[in-house]
Amino acid sequence: MNRFAASLALSASAVALAVPGIASAETAGADADLDRDYLPGAIVVVGAKDGYKTDDGSTGTKTPTPLIEVPQTIAVITEDQLDDQAITQLGDALRYVPGVSLETGEGHRDEVFIRGQETTADFYLDGLRDDAQYYRSLYNVSRIEVLKGANALIFGRGGGGGVVNRVSKKADPLERFAEFDAMVDSFGAFALTADVNQPLGANVAGRIAATYEEFDNDRQEYEGRFIGISPTLTADLSPQTRLSLHYTYDDDWRVTDRGVPSFNGEPLRGFDTTFFGVPGFNEASAEVHIARARIDHEFSEALSANASVQYANYDKIYSNILPRGTDGVDVSLGGYRDFTKRENLIGQANLVWNVETGAIDHTILAGIEALDQSTNNGRFGIALSNDTVALQETILYPTVTVTGLSRERQSELSVLSGYIQDQIEIGDHVEFIAGLRWERFDLDTQDLVGTNDADRVDEMWSPRFGLVVKPTDRLSFYASYSESFLPQAGDQFLILGAGDADFEPEKFTNYEIGAKWLVKPDLFLTAALFRLDRTNTTAPDPANTGLTVQVGESRVEGFEASLVGEVLPGWEASLGYTYLDGEITTTSDFAAAGTRLQQLPKHQVSAWNHFDVTDRFGLGFGAIHQSQQFASFSGNVVLPDYWRVDVAAYYEVSDRVSLQLNVENLFDEDYYPSAHGDNNIQPGAPLSARVGVRISL
């Protein structure tokens, strides 16, 4: 950790160097607004819920920037929308984000496609990387942000199609409240949640969010449970300084369900509830500890800084028997047991400086970030008493024997980066944003059961440029260019093959033009056209030399539009549409040029509405549509198009008690929303109902 410690010292020095010549805390003004979320400056007010719309675009710039001035598409799911949909898991929430489709994640992790780019690692918590493979609960989350398009300037390597950021619930020194929720659905699954905020003094508050959840659905043998507790402390050390402390403990156990195989080019029909695994063996568990400290300070109205440190420990193991394929009479099975232990230590410091130079204003961001990551991953093979079983509603489960380690690898990753950005306001109508991030990426991997050791150091520069034109305060047009990169070890960095170590990182380049219109204060309309190019992707040598060559390229082009907020008094809506056209543009043994990208539906529609019928009674209505898509790059299996309709009803019994009913898949549609290759396809759940009660104190 020596390099990391040096980086933290550099972070502290960067903040300290800003002090000379700046107004002291006493002279900076007692009215400085420090009731903010996780980025510098007075950004987000914590407190009353504000419906489905947000003005906050700070995640896209790391500065206090209105969403209308960020030259990038950002989708936000607020706490109000999450509550209205009775959603407790991240994957379920992302189904309602246009441009995002889900991968099954092999039944044990969050995995998504954003603008056609698959990722298991581009997840963040309060702007800091949370990249292990596990399922994320929402009991301690105030909103979800999905930033579309490559943008390494803000988040660093990866994020080729975009990133998903969860914003934590924060303790509020000015308010005392307690909320208790209970939900149960028609399959018997239930969730109990508590959220308590308590001022502990004039400038100190504590908050604790906790949940216990049990899982069930229509699939045979499926069950699970989740335990989560997340205390946080907020302390205003002075009118200009705030300290925030967070800790999260998550314990997840569930059956590993790999779905159904394909048959005749589509998902196997008639076996949507059949479990193609082995009870007692197909299990996944994850134990996660995340501790974070952050300090924010305003030196003056023009200058602020923050520094954060986060430690995360992930302990994950999963076992699965999975379907390999079927001929319509029998189904072949395979499987393994896999474990991962990971430790992350991240330090980040940012300085935000507002400078006026005549008619031109600058908002300058300067920051540094360091990460040390240690990962141990291994896999055991298995032997089955019978690896082919008759295809029937309930298969004859074979006996499983775990054999020796088939692989084990240890990876050590060190990342050091620095970045600078300038948002230049020219008069009242034009803003130009330019920035550059330097990142040094040092990866050393050891193959503990073989000889495939490798190491590589990459140093990359990632630029970002944007132009925003605002004819009025409520209307903006923008154009942007941004880049990101991903080393050849893949997004989990478990092993760097000797062949892959010879190649430069993959590169993602995003071009985007768009418009944002604040139709009225509580209604936001956005639209964007974009092109995302991916280059330097490795593939087998077409000359059949057995070597890897760097020839892979792909392109995704598309259009996205959304309308979010209060359409009419009493009508809150989150509506979105995305058109995506993506294909591989170079030919290799892996795939031919012109091959459509996997799990890339051409059309996506998402709509959720909340209607207040009376002061105490409301209705909800939602719909999701995806056009057909290929399950993998093979193009041999198609996931059919589908519509899913959801409805809800809300009733406030009193100011402190409310009841809620959510019905998912109202018309009992048979659909297959996600896959992991051609023979692990996840059926959608049939019609189900969820009843909930909330007590507020």
The predicted-structure confidence for 415-424, as pLDDT tens digits, reads as follows 999 999 999 9
Query: What is the arithmetic mean of pLDDT over 303-332?
Result: 97
Please state, in angstroms and rounded to a whole number, the distance separating the CA atoms of residues 174 and 47: 9
What pLDDT sits at residue 452? 82
Q: How far is CA 377 from the centre of its chain?
A: 22
**pLDDT higher than 60, residue 313:** yes
- Please determine, for residue 481, whether its predicted confidence score (pLDDT) is greater than 60: yes
Identify the pLDDT of residue 489: 82
Burial class (CB in 10 A: 0-12, 13-18, 19+), 569: exposed
Q: State yes or no: pLDDT of 505 exceeds 80.
A: yes
pLDDT on residue 19: 35
* 40 DSSP assignment: S
Contact status, residue 482 vs residue 508, Cβ threshold 8 Å = no
* 66: Cβ contacts below 8 Å, ≥ 6 apart: 55, 56, 57
Identify the three-state secondary structure at position 673.
coil
pLDDT confidence of residue 548: 52
pLDDT single digits (tens) 2-23:
444 444 444 444 443 333 333 3
pLDDT tens readout for residues 84-143:
999 999 999 999 998 999 999 999 999 999 999 999 999 999 999 999 999 999 999 999
Going by pLDDT thresholds of 50, 70 and 90, the confidence category of residue 499 is: low
Say how far apart CA 237 and CA 173 lie, in whole Å: 12
Which pLDDT score, from 0 to 100, does residue 491 have?
Answer: 86
Beta-ladder partners of 391:
none
Q: How many CB atoms lie within 10 A of CB 30?
A: 10
How long, in residues, is the chain? 697
Among 366, 443, 499, 517, residue whose Cα is nearest residue 15: 366
CATH assignment, 2-531+558-573: 2.40.170.20
Indicate whether 692 pLDDT > 50. yes
Average pLDDT score over residue span 619-639: 95
Cβ atoms of 663 and 634 within 8 Å: the answer is no
- Report residue 499 as tokens: 């062949």
- Quickly tell me which residue has 């995704």 as its tokens: 556
DSSP 385: S
Percent of the chain with pLDDT over 70: 90
The predicted-structure confidence for 381-392, as pLDDT tens digits, reads as follows 999 999 999 999
> Residue 512 forms beta bridges with which residues?
480, 530
Is the separation of the CB atoms in 112 and 142 below 8 Å?
no
Check residue 500 and give left, alpha or beta (phi > 0: left; psi -120 to 50: alpha).
alpha
- Helices and strands counted in the chain (H then E): 4, 37
Higher pLDDT: 16 or 515? It is 515
User: How far, in Å, CA of 147 to CA of 62, rounded?
Assistant: 13
**pLDDT of residue 44 exceeding 70:** no
**Which residues 6+ apart lie within 8 Å of 386 measured at CB?**
396, 398
Does the pLDDT value for residue 665 go beyond 50? yes
The whole-angstrom separation of Cα 271 and Cα 292 is 45
Residues 516-535, mean pLDDT to the nearest whole number: 96
Residues 6+ apart with CB under 8 A from 551: 537, 538, 539, 542, 586, 588
With a cut of 70, say whether residue 625 has pLDDT above it: yes
Rounded percentage of the chain residues whose pLDDT exceeds 90: 82
Residue 61 in this model has a pLDDT that exceeds 60: yes
- What is d(CA 616, CA 52) in angstroms, rounded to the nearest whole number? 19
- Specify the amino acid at residue 122: D
Cα 580 to the center of its chain, rounded Å = 20
Q: Alpha-carbon dihedral of residues 277, 280, 284, 285, nearest 10 degrees?
A: 170
Q: In the structure, what pLDDT confidence band is assigned to residue 551 with cuts at 50, 70 and 90?
A: low
For residue range 396-435, list pLDDT tens digits in order.
Answer: 999 999 999 999 999 999 999 999 999 999 999 999 999 9
Judged against a pLDDT cut of 50, whether residue 30 lies above it is answered with no
CA nearest to 688, candidates 190, 330, 51: 190
- Residue 631: pLDDT band by 50, 70, 90 thresholds? very high
Task: State mean pLDDT over 637-665.
Answer: 97
pTM equals 0.92
In tens, the pLDDT along 153-188 reads: 999 999 999 999 999 999 999 999 999 999 999 999
User: What local confidence, expressed as pLDDT, does residue 21 receive?
Assistant: 33
* Count of CB atoms situated within 10 Å of the CB of 657: 12
SS3 track for 484-532: EEECCCCCCCCCCCCCHHHCCCEEEEEEEEEEEEEEECCEEEEEEEEEE
pLDDT score at 550: 56
Average of per-residue pLDDT values in the chain = 90
> CA angle 267-135-101, nearest 5°?
45
Domain borders along the chain are 2-531+558-573
As a whole number of angstroms, the distance between CA 147 and CA 228 comes to 26
Tell me the average pLDDT across 432-456: 92
Q: So what's the pLDDT on residue 9?
A: 41
3-state SS, residue 670: coil
Residue 184's beta-bridge partner residues?
A: 190, 691
CB 481 within 8 A of CB 71: no
Q: How many CB atoms lie within 10 A of CB 253?
A: 15
**Would you state the pLDDT for residue 586?**
87
d(CA 653, CA 176): 22
